[in-house]
Amino acid sequence: MRRRSFLKAAVATSAAAFTQGAVAQSAAPSGGSREYYQLRKYTLRSGPQGKLSDQFFGEALIPALNRLGLSAIGAFKVEFGPQTPTTYLLIPGTNLETLVDVDLLLAKDAAFLKAGEAFWSAPAKEPPFERIESTLLKSFEGYPKLTPPAKGKRIFQLRTYESPTPADHIRKVEMFHGGEFEIFRKSGCGNVFFSDAMIGPNLPKLTYMLSFPDIDALNAGWDKFRTDPDWKKLSADQRYSFEPIVSNVDSLILNPAPYSQI
């Protein structure tokens, strides 16, 4: 009964908290339409698959995606995580139809088919990858556009938060709009993108990416984040702390591939 009463109160304040938080985010990029992201995970096998995949991504796929008006394309290799070798591609766009029809459009691009033939048309007994897993994401209202970091030495952290219920997921999204964007910035974490998963496995969930010069900077940034007074106040808010609103966290350390545009 107590939990039910609290949930009714939380729902009543959710819209106001979300709107106020979204307006207050000085650290978030502003203007323009919210982006969609297709996040592709290519699971590979050690050996010739890696070289063939790199050639395909760098010389065929990414140039073809750019011709479709999709940019900047991120390409990342898992440095620390449960599955290696794995390559992630982050494909941003504001035209949802183009993003979801991308493979059908690529099949009509003669230059792409020629450049990527060895990968695209590999024999069935020698597939160029083990599996492809794709998730469709939509940027947060309060962080509508991807922010590429400055060029130079950098690593990326890709984090996914799964929630036990849709209501808990919404409350976790509210926390980002209620201050987390700015707290990350103050802590020295490079905000890249923040998004909701619309289609994909293990819903409901959200996914975001941070950038750092190196692993020491990553550890230092998270230490500052956890001890930030604004984070302590936000995380102690009863609307978010009365029960666990995140049931699982996936965190990967990624290195940008040489052909990555992010």
Based on the fold, state whether residues 24 and 104 are members of the same structural domain. no
User: Residue 180 belongs to what domain range?
Assistant: 7-33+138-256
Q: What is the pLDDT of residue 32?
A: 65
Query: Average of pLDDT values for 36-53?
Result: 93
For 204-217, what is each residue's pLDDT tens digit? 999 999 999 999 99
Q: Are 35 and 140 in contact (CB under 8 A)?
A: no
Q: Are 47 and 127 in contact (CB under 8 A)?
A: no
Based on the fold, state whether residues 145 and 251 are members of the same structural domain. yes
For 69-122, what is each residue's pLDDT tens digit? 999 999 999 987 677 899 999 999 999 999 999 999 999 999 999 999 999 999
For 239-250, what is each residue's pLDDT tens digit? 999 999 999 999
**What is the DSSP secondary-structure string of 218-253?**
HHHHHHHHHH-HHHHHHHH-HHHHSS----EEEEEE
Q: How many domains, in total, are found in the chain?
A: 2
Query: How far apart, in whole angstroms, are the C-alpha atoms of residue 147 and residue 213?
Result: 15
Based on the fold, state whether residues 184 and 85 are members of the same structural domain. no
Q: Are 99 and 36 in contact (CB under 8 A)?
A: yes
Residue 262 falls within a domain, yes or no? Answer: no
Based on the fold, state whether residues 53 and 132 are members of the same structural domain. yes
